[in-house]
């Protein structure tokens, strides 16, 4: 069976932009108020960043599938994605506050870190997963530059306290990997998964 649209279980405006860029028709399938989405993102003891991001992405997909069934929505593939930034094996999640964002950015300054983005597509054909791994090198940033970037509000809600498609681009010296993956949805891997799920776009 061929599908003409998918459900996107993500609040990220960047993921919406990237799907639109691919020419994929989608409908949002967001969590109910009583769903605890944050609970899915708790890191397990001793869990590696690679295992973590793939586990969370798969859990999001399972939650979205239950949501679709509960709402008795038409059958169509479901797409979930999760992005994690890690430095020296430590997961840098979304900053708790401005001070936490400044701490993360200071740690990333002058260093190379990894950005992991997992993608899961659930359809009648089963679950399919992909993992995009990129390396991003930041130039050395001054304390004033970090403070100004934090004050812009951009780090809030972003893994690693930055968004590569925004003002933080001026700190990025080099990228090795997938630019769209660093943004939050690796298009090469995503397109492949969607074709396997018989989505027409």
| Known catalytic membership, residue 82 | yes
State the catalytic residue, choosing from 50, 51, 82, 98: 82
**Residue 38 pLDDT greater than 80, yes or no:** no
CB atoms within 10 A of CB 84: 23
Mean pLDDT computed over 127-139: 98
Q: Band of the pLDDT at 36, cuts 50, 70, 90? A: confident
d(CA 49, CA 169): 24
Mean pLDDT of the chain: 95
pTM, 2 dp = 0.94
Q: Which CATH number fits domain 6-196: 3.30.70.920, 3.90.1520.10, 3.40.640.10, 3.90.950.10?
A: 3.90.950.10
- Which residue, among 173, 30, 184, has the nearest Cα to 111 in the 3D structure? 173
* Helix, coil or strand: residue 91: strand
């Amino acid at each position: 069976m061929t599908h003409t649209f998918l459900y996107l279980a993500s609040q990220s405006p960047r993921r919406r932009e990237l799907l639109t860029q691919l020419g994929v028709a989608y409908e949002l399938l967001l969590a109910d108020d009583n769903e605890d989405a944050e609970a899915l993102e708790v890191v397990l003891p001793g869990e590696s960043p690679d295992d973590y991001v793939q586990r969370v992405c798969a859990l999001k997909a399972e939650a979205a599938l239950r949501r679709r069934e509960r709402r008795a929505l038409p059958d169509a593939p479901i797409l979930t994605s999760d992005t994690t930034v890690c430095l020296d094996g430590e997961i840098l999640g979304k900053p708790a506050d401005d001070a936490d964002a400044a701490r993360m950015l200071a740690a990333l300054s002058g260093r190379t870190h990894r950005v992991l983005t997992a993608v899961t597509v659930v359809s009648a054909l089963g679950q399919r997963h992909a993992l995009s791994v990129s390396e991003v090198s930041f130039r050395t940033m001054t304390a004033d530059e970090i403070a100004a970037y934090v004050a812009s509000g951009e780090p809030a809600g972003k893994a690693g306290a930055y968004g590569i498609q925004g003002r933080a681009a001026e700190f990025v010296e080099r990228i090795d990997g997938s630019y769209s993956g660093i943004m939050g949805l690796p298009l090469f891997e995503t397109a492949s998964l969607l074709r396997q799920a018989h989505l027409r776009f």
